[in-house]
Amino acid sequence: MRLSVLDLTFVRTDQSSRDALSVTVRLADTADRLGYTRFWTAEHHNTSALASTSPAVMIAHLAARTSRIRLGSGGVMLPNHPPLVVAEQFALLESLAPGRIDLGVGRAPGGRDLLATAALRGGRRDDGAADTLGQHIDDVATIMTADGMEHEAGDERGRLRATPAATNTPPIWVLGSSPSSALLAADKGLPYVYAHHFGRGGTHEALSRYRQHFTARTPLARPTAVLTAMVSVAPNRADARAAMVPVLLLFARQAAGQPLGRVELVDDHDVRLPLTNSAALEQFNAHAVVGTPKEAAEQLRDLAARFQIDEVMVCPVASERRGTDPATAPTNESTLELLARELL
């Protein structure tokens, strides 16, 4: 089983955005050193809880800091960006770090802030993305080819090409958390990442539809599925669970439509809080990987076997105790270290 990392760049109450970004860099360095397959960064807007607003910018920085690991977006929210911009950004990244770039795309707004969504999408407040994501994917893929895409603007007609042109184009991955995203990935013949860490269930249905309806668009194409999972690993289960509770509470607040706020420190709430105080919290907890190294490794192996996948993308979600250097997240670094000893 291959292991990869999805980092959301959480911002703790003791951190600035710069501190949180420093943690992302440290985690990427750690994953690169330990032999993880890929390290992806997310896109979220207008929130104090997450500092990951621009995957392309973050990937460029991480590419200069790492030597082996694949770097990607988890993901670029395509309805927020013109296809030409995305194609040019990732063709440029592929030119700078050939063979190490993944373009993960999705249709979510990148948060629940309608004002930010409208600002990103030219004044549209509605999602409006379900019907256009497939076309956006086609446009990005075509613009990154050597021939480019035919385009018209008024009386002008010509071809759009991503420049500088990369020797190879980065693979496009479809991200999602529903059967509709699975069917889109299958129809396009693209690899698929299911957001299991959202705690919504439906993983088996989505992956089954993806595999059943997969259409190979090239001779070597085959269904390729990856799961994401929230993880917290420590030498004893109680510590692993206590470190994860602040982030579980953050996700539960989001599910309830409440303001997120920054991630609390472990010291700042009762870690004995029962994880059954809301249906959303219980769902997130049920889908999380938490425990000792051996327990967490067994849970990940079970996920891989149950859903017939050979790669899991772990999302380290431990908080820290008061007094920790704000520019570090030693518990999350330790999570990656402990998992690597068991599985890599």
Query: Above pLDDT 90, what percent of the chain?
Result: 68
- 5, β-bridge pairs: 39, 314
CATH, range 2-342: 3.20.20.30
Give the whole-angstrom CA distance, residue 292 versus residue 327.
25
pLDDT at res. 276 = 46
Distance of CA 328 to the CA centre of its chain: 20
Kindly compute the dihedral angle of the four CA atoms of residues 180, 53, 112, 108, in this order, to the nearest 10 degrees.
-10
CB atoms within 10 A of CB 288: 26
Distances (CA, A) of 60 to 48, 57, 64: 23, 5, 7
DSSP, collapsed to helix, strand or coil, labels residue 121 as coil
Q: Supply 276's token pair.
A: 């059954």
Where do the structural domains in the chain lie, given as residue ranges? 2-342
pLDDT at res. 215 = 96
Q: Supply 212's token pair.
A: 């059943």
Q: What are phi and psi of 28, to 5 degrees?
A: -65, -45
Give the whole-angstrom CA distance, residue 230 versus residue 314.
6
pLDDT at res. 155 = 80
pLDDT tens track for 155-210: 888 898 998 777 889 999 999 999 999 999 999 999 999 999 876 778 999 999 99
Q: Which amino acid is at 256?
A: A
pLDDT tens track for 304-319: 999 999 899 999 999 9
